Amino acid sequence: MNQPSSLPGGANSFRSQPDARGHFGQFGGRYVAETLMPLILDLEREYRAAKADPAFAREFEYLLRQYVGRPNPLYYAERLTETVRADAPPGMGAKIYLTREDLNHTGAHKINNCIGQILLARRMGKTRIIAETGAGQHGVATATVAARFGLPCVIYMGARDIERQQPNVFRMKLLGAEVRSVESGAKTLKDAMNEALRDWVANVHDTFYIIGTAAGPHPYPELVRDFQSVIGREVRANILAAEGRLPDLLIAAIGGGSNAIGLFHPFLDDPDVAMLGIEAAGKGLDTTEHAASLTGGQPGVLHGNRTFLLQDEDGQIAEAHSISAGLDYPGIGPEHSWLHDIGRVTYESATDAEALDAFQLLCRTEGIIPALEPSHALAAVGRKAREMRQDQIIIVNLSGRGDKDIFTVAQALGVAI
Amino acid sequence: MSRLATTFAHLADANRAALVAFVTGGDPDPAATPAILDALVEGGADVIELGMPFTDPMADGPAIQLANIRSLGAGTTTAKLLEIVADFRTRHPDFPIVLMGYANPMVRRGPAWFADAAARAGVDGVICVDIPSEEDEALGPALRAAGIDFVRLATPTTDAARLPAVLEGAGGFLYYVSVAGITGKQQAAQTSIEAAVAKLKAATDLPVAVGFGVRTPDQAAAIARVADGVVVGSAIVDEIARAAASGNDPAAAVRNIVKDLAAAIRTARQEKAA
């Protein structure tokens, strides 16, 4: 049986990154225009001060509890486990738990980070909020906290994503945000991020950019990870309460990777806990239509950090593809690039079709409609659980609920709504 | 002395500012670029800033975004761009040329590869939007080892405490981005430009060139009275777009606008003295 264990801190820890300059090994950093650099340094100072301020932690925890609805349950997916065991070799089929980030206010893990960042924005005296969004979950979460704190909010969203995520666009508008359609490039998340950066550089004096994933220039990857690590801390307490031991495997879907790093980070120094990140393989890794930056990309510099990117031999960024708008990004958070590089976390992928199958399987076995993003993680659960013994434990981050995706899924299944 | 240093020194002796003219390499297509570069020289530019196209030009406004799309759509590659520079260098042995762009295309094959290839082509300086002094290591040492000036950017948000770090390892000239924003949009107030240039010149011996939002000969002349160089980009790129869209010769359009800008800059300080 696995027992909770941890490496000593400092150099022997996987949890002491990034360094003072925001580097995770060769990844991360602050690759931004000079105009933004002083602001990034301010943000880092303010974040250090906030981290040392018990009042900041108290307010963050209060809002997570009373507004977001945390802590979340760790749910034993009994019927999913039985279904997997039904066609597994004798004695095989690990016990599958889901950590229910889909139960958060606004329906996904994104809100954890938004609460933390808007508290920082307020500390810094910023009076205007901007954000980019792909699936719209981060946009909704940002619009939500902006409404809660009474700040004007502009959300940049690719025109193509606006088309496939209409319900979330309407939600953002109901919450008082202005949604600006981005027409450049492939009109998805990457282009929305370019446009948000253009807004930010022109409005540095009063604007706070709430980045939605654990990527971008330092200190964003670090602070987003820290805010999302509430996921892993709760999971740790919950699994010890339920099983009296740590899990054997953690699985999470990766776009930028904030839900995954939030789950993984508190366990990085537990050598017996394996971790698996699932990238979006789109129409297949052998096609050009996927979003698997680690499997199909090489290190490069984009959106403020050095990380694995889908790109050509000249460093031009390739368009990503995934049925899930939230995974449709040609990069990945720098800490994942580092964890991949050093081998602490394993990264695989799941295709659109595999995610769709897993989506339907969870609906039917557990009565839970998952978002398409965690459906990629669920796709990997089936194959991993069959290779593991029945006394082993897998925990999957069910990072969001799927109400927003029913139109996309219906279309993929050939159903007219 | 480098071509950039020589040019700025000659212009200082002549008591006038440099016209630093920007075009995106390969816009509207790579075959058109050599004639456009020649037109910049003939029109009276003093330094060419050649944009390396990138899929994600985060610091650029609509004009240069579109130029990047046209260029990449026409098949511009890093190799082609460097070939264009090398050919330019044989036609114009003494004319300074600076590459401007984003980090990823520059570091893709490793900083040493890029620095050596650029030096071989005859590039004098490199401006990289998203490598601030904090990340100098990613490109700076390779450029300096290859004898290429790493031109740094200062902005309205660069305060006095930070300026020495920005100047560390900087070469060629200092590019003052006069507005906090993206290229080709709003223009800064002349008084704020004057104050900023005075502060920068007190901190460095490098020539100071001012850009972002400079569109007309009058604006260029006003800046030329106080700065060592005036950078004009989007206004020239717009001319190329218009000419290309209407089937006219982009090189002729470039020659015309650069002539007007150069004339305004050449007489700027005389008018003030008169």
Whether the per-residue pLDDT at A17 is higher than 80: the answer is yes
- Chain position carrying tokens 């949604």: A179
A306 inside 8 A of chain B by CB: yes
Instruction: Tell me the residues of chain A between 308 and 327 that have a Cβ less than 8 Å away from chain B.
Output: 309, 311, 313-317
Tally of CB atoms within 10 A around B267: 15
A205 inside 8 A of chain B by CB: yes
Asked whether residue A211 falls in the same domain as residue A264, the answer is: no
List pLDDT tens digits, range A245-285: 999 999 999 999 999 999 999 999 999 999 999 999 999 99
Structure token digits, residue A63: 């809002």
* Arithmetic mean of pLDDT over chain A: 95
| E strands present in B224-265 | 229-232
Spatial contact of B17 and B271, defined as CB atoms under 8 Å apart: no
The Cα of A361 is separated from the nearest Cα of chain B by a number of Å equal to 38
The verdict on residue A1 lying in a domain is no
Please say if A187 is a catalytic residue. no
| Kind of pairing between the strands at A74-76 and A27-31 | unpaired
Q: Give whole-number Cα distances, B199 to A115, A130, B20, B195, in Å.
A: 40, 32, 21, 6
Residues of A in contact with B61 (CB under 8 A): 198
Asked whether residue A333 falls in the same domain as residue A213, the answer is: no
Residue A153: pLDDT band with limits 50, 70, 90: very high
Q: What is the pLDDT of residue A2?
A: 43
Last residue of one domain, picked from the residues A220, A250, A283: A220
Asked whether residue A173 falls in the same domain as residue A287, the answer is: no
Closest CA to B100 of B31, B185, B20, B158: B20
List pLDDT tens digits, range A352-388: 999 999 999 999 999 999 999 999 999 999 999 999 9
Last residue of one domain, picked from the residues A151, A186, A220: A220
Instruction: Quote the CA–CA distance of A279 and A277 in Å, as a whole number.
Output: 7
The Cα of A131 is separated from the nearest Cα of chain B by a number of Å equal to 15
The verdict on residue A249 lying in a domain is yes
Cβ A34–B153 below 8 Å, yes or no?
A: yes
Asked whether residue A238 falls in the same domain as residue A172, the answer is: no
Structure token digits, residue A180: 């600006």
Query: Could you list the residue range(s) of the whole structural domain that residue A119 is in?
Result: 23-67+110-220
Catalytic position from the list A190, A384, A399, A404: A399
Asked whether residue A50 falls in the same domain as residue A139, the answer is: yes
Please say if A404 is a catalytic residue. no
Sheet containing A178-182, strands listed edge to edge, beginning at the edge strand earlier in sequence: A178-182, A153-158, A128-133, A207-209
Domain ranges of chain B: 3-13+17-273
Structure token digits, residue B153: 């950017």
Q: Give whole-number Cα distances, A133 to A4, B162, B194, in Å.
A: 37, 33, 40
Q: What is the pLDDT of residue B273?
A: 54
Structure token digits, residue B116: 């050596």
Q: What is the pLDDT of residue B180?
A: 87
Last residue of one domain, picked from the residues A220, A246, A270: A220
Instruction: Tell me the residues of chain A between 207 and 226 that have a Cβ less than 8 Å away from chain B.
Output: none
Structure token digits, residue A58: 């108290």
Structural domain count, chain A: 2
B61 inside 8 A of chain A by CB: yes
Q: Give whole-number Cα distances, B257 to A306, B67, B238, B250, in Å.
A: 39, 17, 10, 11
From the list B105, B107, B134, which residue is nearest A30 (CB)?
B134
Asked whether residue A260 falls in the same domain as residue A179, the answer is: no
Instruction: Quote the CA–CA distance of B61 and A138 in Å, as a whole number.
Output: 25
Asked whether residue A315 falls in the same domain as residue A172, the answer is: no
CATH 3.20.20.150 describes domain B3-13+17-273: no
| Site from A35, A41, A43, A189 to mutate, B interface, most B CB atoms within 10 angstroms | A35
Give the end-to-end CA distance of chain A in Å, rounded to a whole number: 49
Averaged over A144-154, what is the pLDDT?
A: 98
Please say if A132 is a catalytic residue. yes
Asked whether residue A295 falls in the same domain as residue A358, the answer is: yes
Closest CA to A344 of A248, A392, A273: A273
Q: What is the pLDDT along chain B (274 residues), one digit of tens a residue?
A: 899 999 999 999 999 999 999 999 999 999 999 999 999 999 999 999 999 999 999 999 989 999 999 999 999 999 999 999 999 999 999 999 999 999 999 999 999 999 999 999 999 999 999 999 999 999 999 999 999 999 999 999 999 999 999 999 999 999 999 998 888 877 888 899 999 999 999 999 999 999 988 999 999 999 999 999 999 999 999 999 999 999 999 999 999 999 999 999 999 998 655 4
The H-or-E segment that residue A74 falls in is strand A74-76
Spatial contact of A378 and A280, defined as CB atoms under 8 Å apart: no
From the list B72, B135, B182, which residue is nearest A198 (CB)?
B182
Asked whether residue A252 falls in the same domain as residue A390, the answer is: yes
**% of chain A surpassing 70 pLDDT:** 97
List pLDDT tens digits, range B187-237: 888 899 999 999 999 999 999 999 988 999 999 999 999 999 999 999 999
- Type of residue numbered B212: F
Kindly report the CATH number assigned to the domain that includes residue A83: 3.40.50.1100
Helix (H, G, I), strand (E, B) or coil at A257: coil
CA A196 to chain CA centroid, Å, is 19
Instruction: Quote the CA–CA distance of B233 and B211 in Å, as a whole number.
Output: 8
pTM summary value: 0.95
Residues of A in contact with B181 (CB under 8 A): 35, 201-202
Asked whether residue A261 falls in the same domain as residue A142, the answer is: no
Instruction: Quote the CA–CA distance of B157 and B179 in Å, as a whole number.
Output: 9
Asked whether residue A301 falls in the same domain as residue A354, the answer is: yes
Averaged over A159-174, what is the pLDDT?
A: 91
A23 bridge partner residues: A28
The verdict on residue A5 lying in a domain is no
Asked whether residue A260 falls in the same domain as residue A184, the answer is: no
